[in-house]
Amino acid sequence: MEFIDHATHITDIKIKHNNVRGASIQNYLRSHDGNYDENGKYKLNPEILETFIRSSAGYCVITYILAVGDRHLENIMVKKTGHLLHIDFGFILGQNPLQKQILSTPMRLTEEMLQTMGGSGSSDYKRFEGFCCQAYRILRKNAKLICNLLELMSNADIADLSINQDSKIAIAKVRERLCMDTTDEGEAEQFLLARLSESAGNWKGKLLDISHNAATNFKYGGV
C-alpha cells in the first residue's frame, strides 16, 4: 500500500470545486497553484496542463489494455501538480463488480477530464489523442512480451488471471485490445481512437457514478 501525497479523488473535487460550468478539475488545479497564469490557456500553468493531458493519456491506454474495472470517480485522483492517476486495481482483465458490468466503457474518460482539456473538439484534446496513440504504438511493439508475461503469471494465484478464471480467454482479450492481428499501425490507431470516442463522456459512466454513490450511501448510512 502506498500513500499518495497531495492528491484528491474526482468526486471530492466535484463537490468542492464545481462552481464554473463543470470545470471542476481546472478550478481545483488553480486553487493549488498560487502562481497560475491569468493569461494562460484556461488560466492554468502550462506545465500543469501538459502534465494532466499526458498522464490522462497514459492511464486511459493502460487501463484499457489491462481492462481495469470498477472505475468510479473515487478511484481516479488528481494531484495538484496536474498528475492524474488511478488507484484500486482489485478488478482487472475484464472483471468488474456485477452491478457495474453493464455500465462499463472501454476507458474512463469523464466529462470533468474532457472539460480540463477544453472539450472533445479542442486542440488540447487532439494532443491528448496523439499521446494516447503514441503510448499505444509503444505497447503494441512490446505486445508479445506483455502477453508472454501474462501467460507466465497464470499460475500465480492472481484472481483475475488464474487457471480457474480461464487465463487463455483473458489473455486473448488483451491481444484483441492490442490489435495484434494487424500490422497496419494506422488501422490500429483508428481502432484505439474509436474506443476513445466511445468512452468520452459516455452516459454509462455517469450512471456508474450515481449507482456507486447510492450504494456507498446505503452501505454507510449516508456518511
Average pLDDT over residues 68-82: 91
Grid cell of 174 as nine digits: 488483451
Average pLDDT over residues 71-75: 89
Query: Would you place residue 90 in the very low, low, confident or very high pLDDT band (cuts 50, 70, 90)?
Result: confident
For residue 210, what pLDDT is reported?
77
220: enclosing H helix or E strand: none
pLDDT tens digit sequence for 5-40: 889 999 899 888 875 554 789 989 988 776 666 666
Q: State what percent of residues in the chain have pLDDT above 70.
A: 85
Cβ pair 59, 84 in contact under 8 A: yes
Q: What is the 3-state secondary structure (H, E, C) of 91-155?
A: CCCCCCCHHHHHHCCCCCECHHHHHHCCCCCCHHHHHHHHHHHHHHHHHHHCHHHHHHHHHHHHH
User: Does residue 221 or residue 185 have the better pLDDT?
Assistant: 185
Dist. CA 111–CA 44, nearest whole Å: 18
Q: In what order do the strands lie in the sheet with 84-86?
A: 7-9, 76-79, 84-86
Grid cell of 36 as nine digits: 497560475
Average pLDDT over residues 79-98: 86
For residue 35, what pLDDT is reported?
63
CA-to-CA separations, 127 to 25, 56, 78, 133, in angstroms, rounded: 18, 11, 19, 10
Dist. CA 102–CA 100, nearest whole Å: 6
pLDDT over 60 (residue 66): yes
Cα 217 from chain centroid (whole Å) = 24
Cβ pair 79, 52 in contact under 8 A: no
For residue 218, what pLDDT is reported?
53
User: Does residue 49 or residue 218 have the better pLDDT?
Assistant: 49
Query: Would you place residue 167 in the very low, low, confident or very high pLDDT band (cuts 50, 70, 90)?
Result: confident
Note the pTM of the prediction, 2 decimals. 0.86
DSSP assigned state of 90: S
For residue 99, what pLDDT is reported?
58
